[in-house]
Amino acid sequence: MKPVKFSTFLFTMLVGLIFQLYPWSNTGVIIRPDFLLVIMIYWVLQAPYHCNIGWVWFAGLLVDLSTGSLLGQHALTFAITAFLGLIYQRRLVLFNRWQLYLYVIFLFGVQRGLILLLKLFAGGELPDWTYSLPVVSDLILWQFMIIWFGELTRPKKL
């Protein structure tokens, strides 16, 4: 984990927001990853000195505004996910690659589950199985984040 500049963090957040605002078409909406979520969770785990729960919450608020959903919904789930991520943040170096993937899948799954719960409370209907597809695309985006900004786990040979 090499230290990053604050400006890098802000720049990735902006890029994530632009991708979030991209006009996705029919199938795109189904498989589109949660750009801001992946980017923010990555920074929470990689650089907690830049990105705290407040920033993640703010990113969630931006998602709320861009989707036009109830203000605070995504913000709440983003904050909870970031907190769950932070619990194990200092132990991540002990994880191997696959444990980290599992952990990240768990985090993304929790976020989608919480959103689903909130929507169901608001009178929404249960979506079909394709609702869980973005977790896969989230993981692909996560892999890109690792390639661009560095591994979270400790390299094997030290």
Partner 1 sequence: MLKGIHQQLDPQESPAFFIQGPKPFSRLMFFCTLSLVMMAVDARFDYLSQVRQWFSTALHPLEVLASAPNEWGRNINTYFTSHNQLIQDNFKLKQQSLIDNAALQRLATVDAENAHLRTLLAGDAPIIPQATLGEVLHMGRDPFSNIITLNRGSRHHITPGQAVVDEQGVVGQITRVYTFTSEVTLITDKKLSIPIQIERNQLRAIAFGEGKRNTLDIPYLPTSVDIKVGDKLVTSGIDGVYPAGLAVAVVTQIKQSQDSPFAKIISRPIAGVNNHKHVLILKVPESPAINPSSENKPVLPRNNAQHLDQSVVEVLQKNNAAVDPHPATETPVLDSPSTEPGAAAATPGAAPAPENTTAPAAPEHP
Q: Which residues bind partner 1 (CB under 8 A)?
A: 14, 17-26, 29-30, 48-49, 52-54, 57, 60-61, 65-73, 75-76, 79-80, 82-83, 86-87, 119, 122-125, 127-128, 131
Half-sphere exposure of residue 137, counting CA atoms within 13 Å on the CB side?
A: 17
Q: How far is the CB of 3 from partner 1 (least distance, A)?
A: 14
- d(C-alpha 77, C-alpha 45), whole Å: 17
Indicate the residue among 13 and 96 with the shorter CB distance to partner 1. Answer: 13
- Which of 3, 8, 107, 16 minimizes the C-alpha distance to 48? 3
Question: Least distance in Å: CB of 8 to partner 1?
Answer: 19
Q: How far is the CB of 36 from partner 1 (least distance, A)?
A: 12
Distance CA 142, CA 140 (A): 5
Give Dmax (Cα) for the chain: 53
Identify whether the C-beta of residue 13 lies closer than 8 Å to the C-beta of residue 54. no
CB closer to partner 1, 119 vs 146: 119
CB of 74 to partner 1, least distance (A): 9
